[in-house]
Amino acid sequence: MKLLRWCWSWAWAVMMGWAWAAEQVPDLRAPLDPVFPSRLLSRIEREGYLEYKVEFPSAFDSPYPENNRVQAWWLVPVQRSGRVPTVVLLHSLGIRRPELEMALGRELVRNGIAVFLMTLPYHMARTPAGQDSGSAILSGDVNLLRAAAVQAVWDVRRAFDWLRRQPETDPERIALVGISLGAILGATALGVEPRIHSAVLILGGADLAHVLWHSVLTLGARARLRRDGYTLARLRAELASIEPLNLLTPEHGAKTFVIGARFDIVVPAEDTEKLIRALGRPKVLWLSTGHFGGGLVQRPLFRVVRQYLQARFAGENPTNAPEIWVPTLRIGAIYSAGRDFRLALGTDFWRSDKNSTLFVSGVLTPRGASLFAGVRLRLGFSAGAEITPKRTYGAVFWHFVL
């Protein structure tokens, strides 16, 4: 009986602890003062556009002063007639310089769309002393992660307040574009910020706890979470207040374009599918790559994003899913009894379905070229046959998709 009472007391304490932690999370929709100081740090004239550096205080007060100053690059077309549509652009995890995001920004601004590239919490100039850009997000500190998500959403809301006061900006046509981490946080912002005209979520997902529990980038965070007694269920409970699945509806999906990678193991593809289901029927483009393979078709991919936004800003609602051909590159190692263990680079010639349950790849190794025909297993392993001009061998191919 004493043991039963002790177990009940322990379970009650744990549940109360989780409830207390949840109560401490600021409300994503909390009213924010729309009037706040800001300053322009620099102004550079580029080919076809002006590039400003903007700074304003975050509405969220974290323990790190440097993290509480939001910095952004504001790109404005030089040639414009009246107010222009604008995109708030959120970058990916851990970057030190927003080179990819600036490339997308230039594609947009040179086609008449202003861009506000905002630095996310704990990144770049907002990185606390002694840390790497973005490292705090993957530290395994659940309270910090939850607070950082709230801060990012509040910063987006404040960016909207700032932009709507600028004479260059059309206040009714401000969209949001996020890449990777920016797409995950962008999905949360989309769920609470009704002023978002349109959204493009690139390589993001939903079910944040599942992403942390399964992403190839979160090994260190998972180790800490397990040491701290977390299970996937507990993590889901503690991240519920910032979870896009709890915030998004098909109404949001009607103005959203989701771009996912079919073989993503950074933001698992199944979590991108959860995001799509939560949005109902958004416009969707699947790339037959992993998380980084979109770089192989960067220019056409950015062009598709720009064309979608242009159509939306013009009052149209694109429904036809675009198509971009991109090679599926498999990087890893192959083993066969007759040819031993070798590093290998493969590209697909044939796949049985969208998930490559069965596939045939041309494979290049230090010992020459061959074909691999196999079945996809788990953890990056595939089993099948290596086919050479002289002989066929049973083989195992371990790889990840770029």
Quick: pLDDT tens for 321-350: 678 989 999 999 999 887 788 999 999 999
Strands of 169-179's sheet in order across: 39-46, 49-57, 69-77, 114-118, 84-90, 169-179, 199-202, 256-261, 283-287
pTM: 0.91
Q: Angle at Cα 373 formed by Cα 370 and Cα 378, nearest 5°?
A: 120
- Residues 272 and 258 sit within 8 Å (Cβ to Cβ): yes
The least confident of 56-60, 186-190, 320-324 is: 320-324
187, 338, 339, 349, 355 from 398: Cα distances, Å: 33, 17, 15, 18, 16
128, 398, 400 from 393: Cα distances, Å: 54, 16, 22
Strands 256-261 and 84-90 turn out to be unpaired
Confidence of residue 258 (pLDDT cuts 50, 70, 90): very high
Q: According to the model, what pLDDT value does residue 221 have?
A: 96
Q: According to the model, what pLDDT value does residue 354 have?
A: 82
Phi, psi of 184 (to 5 degrees): -65, -50
Q: According to the model, what pLDDT value does residue 299 have?
A: 95
| 259 vs 20: which has the higher pLDDT | 259
Residue 11 has pLDDT above 60, yes or no: no
204, 317, 379 from 371: Cα distances, Å: 33, 44, 21
Q: What is the DSSP letter of 122?
A: T
The model's pLDDT over 90-147, given as tens digits with 9 standing for 90+, comes to 999 999 999 999 999 999 999 999 999 999 999 999 999 999 999 999 999 999 999 9
Q: Hey, what are 142's tokens?
A: 């659940």
Q: According to the model, what pLDDT value does residue 340 have?
A: 83
- 23-313, which class in CATH? alpha beta
Residue 3 has pLDDT above 60, yes or no: no
Nearest-Å Rg of the Cα atoms of the chain is 23
Distance CA 353, CA 19 (A): 44
Range 248-278 burial, b when 16+ CB lie within 10 A, else e: beeebbebbbbbbbbbbbbbbbebbbbbbeb
The model's pLDDT over 345-360, given as tens digits with 9 standing for 90+, comes to 999 999 998 888 999 9
Total length of the chain: 402
Exposed / middle / buried, residue 208 (Cβ in 10 Å: 0-12, 13-18, 19+)? buried
Alpha carbon of residue 248 to chain centroid = 16
